[in-house]
């Protein structure tokens, strides 16, 4: 058990204090008055470090907008760097749940890490919100009443890009990604729509996560001469890939497509190499709904950073939990009430309002965006209200 309380006082001291309050007839501090304990298990090092920071910023922005409280309760954060390392995930999630006794587990970016977290959360019946990781299983075979996602499934934006690539007249595509759940599921989603529409994925290439030695693959793409290339990369690795693609001269001859993680939060680092890239995602610059305008203004003022999809997903994780906790009058023990309210919530997201599917994944528009300067400008909405098929979810 944690030797220290949320106030930082040794536990023994607190028991003594409580007993003396009782004898003096002072009001007893109820569990209800203690802060809500939020575990933020996100990457703060490695290729996904900036993504973890944006999610944290977004989550805290929403809480700060509620005066630092959720459903009338103060919030205490317990942050852990998951290092995007699945091998360390079970131990780190267990520590947050067992030692820090978090009421809500928020995480993470990397699909492999999130899958391990979800198993620990499920075994301990801990409420968990995924603010990024797209692993299809989380809202598929591993779906659970206590597991929610405010981001996307890997299938969603990739499937939309398969449709767009086919509509743009491409017939053969070569794919490249890191070899782990997110990349492989993105390729599968793209291929499903692209091949349904008559296209052909001629070759699927992978490299281990988070390697950035792209040269041999670029040489092979140049030799294969497909109509287009589809990739899944994100964070630091995405910026490096796009720069290498341009340096090899491939951007002049073979169009490059990807889910929008390729260009969200990375355009500045890409410079000229990113200009004009077309990507699909559930967020974009220039959506210009009232919520988005206010969200972006506050985010830029508070963090001196441009908001991106990760910040939005973190903000919405806090919003979703707030909807649940409010219905329970701030009582974290009323898990059934919290879950029901979260299931029925309409989240007023900067991406546009969304609801959750039966499997607890956002049903959302997928936008086609074009990189212009440091913006991913929305140019079309290829699929409205897209729900993940939730294959294997029995809920
Ligand atoms: C994932 O591992 O699911 C993942 C990571 C980074 C992204 C998107 C998905 O930008």
Q: Which atom of ligand 1 is nearest to the CA of 309?
A: 10
125 shares its domain with 202? no
277 shares its domain with 159? yes
pLDDT in tens, 68-108: 999 999 999 999 999 999 999 999 999 999 999 999 999 99
Lowest mean pLDDT of 27-41, 239-253, 286-300, 349-363, name the range. 27-41
Taking the whole predicted model, whether its pTM rises above 0.75 is answered as yes
176 shares its domain with 218? yes
178 shares its domain with 148? no
294 shares its domain with 356? yes
pLDDT at 6 over 70: no
216 shares its domain with 243? yes
Q: Which of 265, 281, 297 is the last residue of a domain?
A: 281
Phi, psi of 55 (to 5 degrees): -65, -45
Q: Which atom of ligand 1 is nearest to the CA of 261?
A: 10
Is 193 domain-assigned? yes
**Integer Cα distance of 278 and 169 in angstroms:** 15
Is 14 domain-assigned? no
Mean pLDDT across 176-193? 98
295 shares its domain with 147? yes
Of 82, 132, 185, 282, the residue with max ligand 1 atoms within 8 A of its CB, to mutate for a pocket test, comes to 132
101 shares its domain with 211? no
276 shares its domain with 161? yes
Number of folded domains that form the chain: 2
Is 189 domain-assigned? yes
Are 74 and 64 in contact by the 8 Å Cβ rule? The answer is: no
- Determine the distance separating the centroid of ligand 1 and the alpha carbon of 110, expressed in angstroms: 5
Residue 30: pLDDT band (50, 70, 90) is: low
Is 349 domain-assigned? yes
- Determine the distance separating the centroid of ligand 1 and the alpha carbon of 134, expressed in angstroms: 6
Structure tokens at 329: 């009058």
Is 2 domain-assigned? no
Q: Which atom of ligand 1 is nearest to the CA of 235?
A: 10
Q: Which CATH number fits the domain that encloses residue 47?
A: 3.40.50.2300
93 shares its domain with 161? no
Is 392 domain-assigned? no
Average pLDDT over all residues of the chain? 93
Are 341 and 145 in contact by the 8 Å Cβ rule? The answer is: no
Residue 33: pLDDT band (50, 70, 90) is: confident
- Determine the distance separating the centroid of ligand 1 and the alpha carbon of 190, expressed in angstroms: 15
Query: Residues enclosing ligand 1, CB less than 6 A?
Result: 48, 51, 109-111, 132-135, 154, 182, 234, 261
Place of tokens 């304990």: 37
Q: Which of 258, 281, 304 is the last residue of a domain?
A: 281
pLDDT at 15 over 80: no
Task: Count the Cβ atoms, other than its own, within 10 Å of residue 24.
Answer: 7
- Determine the distance separating the centroid of ligand 1 and the alpha carbon of 51, expressed in angstroms: 9
**Torsion angle defined by CA atoms of residues 298, 300, 303 and 308, in that order, rounded to the nearest 10 degrees:** 100
What is the span of the domain harbouring residue 72?
31-152+289-360
- Determine the distance separating the centroid of ligand 1 and the alpha carbon of 125, expressed in angstroms: 25
Is 9 domain-assigned? no
Q: Which of 225, 249, 281 is the last residue of a domain?
A: 281
Per-residue b or e along 52-78, where b marks 16 or more CB atoms closer than 10 Å to that residue's CB: bbbbbbbbbbbbeeeeeebbebebebb
**Integer Cα distance of 122 and 253 in angstroms:** 48
Phi, psi of 101 (to 5 degrees): 50, 50
213 shares its domain with 137? no
Nearest CA to ligand 1 atom 5: 110
Q: Which atom of ligand 1 is nearest to the CA of 180?
A: 2
Structure tokens at 274: 């990113």
**Integer Cα distance of 23 and 264 in angstroms:** 58
- Determine the distance separating the centroid of ligand 1 and the alpha carbon of 21, expressed in angstroms: 50
105 shares its domain with 187? no
């Amino acid at each position: 058990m944690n030797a220290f309380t949320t106030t930082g006082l040794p536990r023994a001291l607190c028991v003594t204090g409580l007993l003396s309050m009782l004898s003096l007839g002072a009001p007893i501090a109820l569990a209800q008055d203690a802060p809500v304990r939020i575990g933020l298990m996100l990457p703060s090092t490695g290729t996904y470090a900036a993504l973890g920071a944006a999610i944290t910023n977004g989550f805290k922005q929403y809480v700060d907008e509620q005066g630092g409280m959720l459903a009338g309760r103060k919030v205490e954060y317990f942050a852990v760097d998951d290092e995007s390392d699945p091998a360390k995930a079970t131990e780190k999630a267990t520590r947050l749940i067992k030692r820090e006794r978090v009421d809500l587990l928020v995480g993470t970016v990397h699909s492999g890490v999130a899958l391990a977290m979800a198993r620990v959360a499920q075994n301990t019946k801990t409420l968990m919100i995924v603010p990024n990781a797209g692993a299809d299983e989380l809202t598929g075979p591993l779906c659970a009443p206590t597991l929610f996602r405010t981001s996307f499934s890997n299938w969603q934006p990739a499937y939309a890009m398969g449709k767009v690539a086919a509509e743009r007249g491409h017939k053969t595509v070569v794919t490249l990604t890191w070899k782990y759940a997110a990349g492989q599921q993105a390729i599968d989603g793209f291929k499903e729509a692209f091949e349904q529409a008559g296209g052909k994925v001629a070759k699927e290439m992978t490299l281990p996560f988070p390697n950035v030695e792209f040269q041999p693959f670029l040489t092979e793409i140049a030799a294969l001469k497909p109509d287009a290339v589809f990739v899944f990369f994100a964070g630091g690795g995405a910026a490096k890939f796009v720069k290498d693609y341009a340096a090899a001269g491939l951007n002049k001859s073979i169009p490059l497509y990807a889910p929008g993680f390729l260009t969200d939060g990375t355009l500045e680092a890409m410079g000229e190499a990113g200009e004009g890239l077309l990507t699909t995602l559930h967020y974009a610059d220039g959506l210009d709904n009232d919520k988005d305008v206010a969200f972006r203004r506050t985010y830029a003022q508070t963090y001196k950073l441009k908001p991106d999809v990760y910040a939005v997903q973190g903000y919405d994780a806090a919003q979703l939990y707030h909807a649940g906790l409010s219905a329970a009058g701030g009582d974290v023990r009323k898990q059934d009430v919290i879950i029901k309210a979260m299931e029925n919530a309409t989240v007023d997201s900067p991406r546009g309002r969304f609801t959750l599917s039966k499997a607890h994944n956002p049903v959302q528009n997928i936008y086609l965006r074009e990189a212009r300067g440091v913006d991913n400008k929305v140019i079309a909405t290829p699929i409205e209200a897209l729900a993940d098929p939730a294959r294997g979810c029995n809920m």
